[in-house]
Amino acid sequence: MTGSGDMESLAEVKTKGQYIVVDIVGEPRFVRRLAELGMVLNTNLTVVTPSENTSGLVIFLRGQRLAVSHTLATNILVKGIDELATVATKPLSRLEVGKSAIVGKIIGDRPVKRRLMDMGLTKNTMIEVHQVAPLGDPIEIIVRGYKLSVRKQEADYIMVQEVSK
């Protein structure tokens, strides 16, 4: 499963760096326990100490260092944020309904950038297009678990890298 652009289990990660949680598989009680710790889909995490053999690993998640066992790490599927840097960026307005992406950068005037960043649209944030109005304006997206509507003109300023699940 490893390779550029593919997701891999957290146990297979061999290098330090930033990753995004793409899927969590396994028993519902494990998934619920991880959610209580803040590890949910589309969450950014940093691998501090990669797994060697079956020893487990140390990650940095939401301001906390956590030790994760090898068994649990095999149930967490991640994608490297650095891998996404090779993916071409495109405006959010061109993303289809139901697709997910990571914010690459925000272009435009300073007040527009600031306003969008205040709404939670910052670099390396996972977003999903929830729905688009019939005439294409506004676009409803999901950011950090919240639904947010942005005008098509504002969506043109948000450059994203599409993530396949």
- Asked if residues 124 and 161 have their Cβ atoms less than 8 Å apart, the reply is no
Tens-place pLDDT, residues 57-89 = 889 988 888 888 888 888 888 888 776 666 678
Residues 78, 117 share a domain: no
- Asked if residues 51 and 70 have their Cβ atoms less than 8 Å apart, the reply is yes
pLDDT for residue 84: 60
CA separation for the pair 10, 33 (Å, rounded): 17
Q: Is residue 1 part of a domain?
A: no
Residues 110, 69 share a domain: no
Q: Which of 5-9, 27-31, 89-93 has the lowest mean pLDDT?
A: 5-9
Task: Please compute the mean of the pLDDT values over residues 17-38 and round it to a whole number.
Answer: 86
Q: Is residue 153 part of a domain?
A: yes
Which helix (H) or strand (E) segment holds residue 101: the answer is strand 100-106
Residues 46, 14 share a domain: yes
Residues 93, 67 share a domain: no
> In this model, does residue 141 exceed pLDDT 90?
yes
pLDDT band with cut points at 50, 70 and 90 for residue 140:
very high
> In this model, does residue 2 exceed pLDDT 70?
no
Tens-place pLDDT, residues 97-106 = 988 888 888 8
Which range of residues forms the domain containing residue 120?
Answer: 87-163
Residues 74, 92 share a domain: no
Q: Is residue 2 part of a domain?
A: no
Beta bridge partners of 45: 19
CA separation for the pair 42, 136 (Å, rounded): 25
The residue count for the chain: 165
Residues 156, 126 share a domain: yes
Residues 105, 47 share a domain: no
Picking from 33, 121, 27, the residue whose alpha carbon sits closest to that of residue 75 is 27
pLDDT for residue 4: 42
CA separation for the pair 128, 118 (Å, rounded): 18
The CATH number for 43's domain is 2.30.30.90
Residues 35, 99 share a domain: no
Domain count, the chain: 2
